[in-house]
Chains A and B, each alone.
Chain A
Amino acid sequence: RKEVEQDPGPFNVPEGATVAFNCTYSNSASQSFFWYRQDCRKEPKLLMSVYSSGNEDGRFTAQLNRASQYISLLIRDSKLSDSATYLCVVKPANAGKSTFGDGTTLTVKP
């Protein structure tokens, strides 16, 4: 089993739709959680960190469920510019090494 698993998609949604991605992790000692965004043929960039209480940044909401060991990303009112691959990243306390999921591809269509 992979340490971090994501549904690869692709998710094809119309503009304005709400879409949610989940990511499960296997290491219960995981401490820090992130969502990165990667555009086609570009480098990954941090989208947002995921906090225990959940957090929101504009149209983006991230949630953490430690009991079930998953994190989620909700995108409301999807824009064409949201089309990208979204990578889930998990980092254990102290050990340092971040583990990336394989990513979920989102395509927002007019």
Chain B
Amino acid sequence: NAGVTQTPKFQVLKTGQSMTLQCAQDMNHNSMYWYRQDPGMGLRLIYYSASEGTTDKGEVPNGYNVSRLNKREFSLRLESAAPSQTFVYFCASSEAWSRSGNTIYFGEGSWLTVV
């Protein structure tokens, strides 16, 4: 059982380049999330998808777009990367957006550096 799988694990981009981070979960979860984390700092929610067919902005959505391709897959796109987007990106999923006691499962992270 792979859980949450995200790719790539490491990426270096030049300013202005675009890229898509891919994420898939095999736990039949309804909700999926993209977070970013500055090393030594907290997690910030970029976008989330409460259920298949819906996406919503989180705390820090500027400069990003997402696509909930199907129940399993949720991708994050940087259209024009900037050095300020150098973070570790975590994809995550949970069984249900509104359920109490809702455990969030994270992927292993994608280390993105924009130069």
- Decide: A43 and B106 in contact? CB cutoff 8 A: yes
Q: Digit string of B69-109 for contact with A (CB within 8 Å is 1, else 0)?
A: 00000000000000000000010000001101111101111
Given A43-B106, A43-B109, A32 and B100 contact (CB-CB distance below 8 Å): yes
- Decide: A97 and B102 in contact? CB cutoff 8 A: no
- Decide: B48 and A97 in contact? CB cutoff 8 A: yes
Q: How many residues of B contact A (CB 8 A)?
A: 21
Give Cα A10–Cα B75 distance, bound, in whole angstroms: 34
A102 CB contact (under 8 Å) in B41, B50, B107: B41
Interface of B is mostly: loop
- Decide: B42 and A100 in contact? CB cutoff 8 A: yes
- Decide: B45 and A97 in contact? CB cutoff 8 A: yes
The answer to whether the Cβ of B43 comes within 8 Å of any Cβ in the partner chain is yes
Question: Number of A-B pairs whose CB atoms are under 8 Å?
Answer: 46
Task: Point out the residues of chain A lying under 8 angstroms from B43, CB to CB.
Answer: 44, 87, 100
Given A42-B108, A43-B108, A96-B97, A32 and B42 contact (CB-CB distance below 8 Å): no
- Decide: B100 and A31 in contact? CB cutoff 8 A: yes
Which residue of the partner chain A has the closest CB to B48? A97
A94 CB contact (under 8 Å) in B35, B98, B101: B98
Task: Point out the residues of chain B lying under 8 angstroms from A44, CB to CB.
Answer: 43, 90, 104, 106
- Decide: B102 and A98 in contact? CB cutoff 8 A: yes
- Decide: A49 and B98 in contact? CB cutoff 8 A: no
Give Cα A94–Cα B106 distance, bound, in whole angstroms: 22
Give Cα A102–Cα B42 distance, bound, in whole angstroms: 4
Interface residues of A (CB under 8 A from B): 31-32, 34, 41-46, 49, 87, 89, 91, 93-98, 100-103
Interface residues of B (CB under 8 A from A): 31, 35, 41-43, 45, 48, 50, 58, 90, 97-98, 100-104, 106-109
Name 20 interchain pairs, CB-CB below 8 A, sorted by A: A31-B100, A32-B101, A32-B102, A41-B109, A42-B109, A43-B107, A44-B43, A44-B90, A44-B104, A87-B43, A93-B100, A94-B98, A96-B31, A96-B50, A96-B98, A96-B102, A97-B58, A98-B102, A98-B104, A103-B42
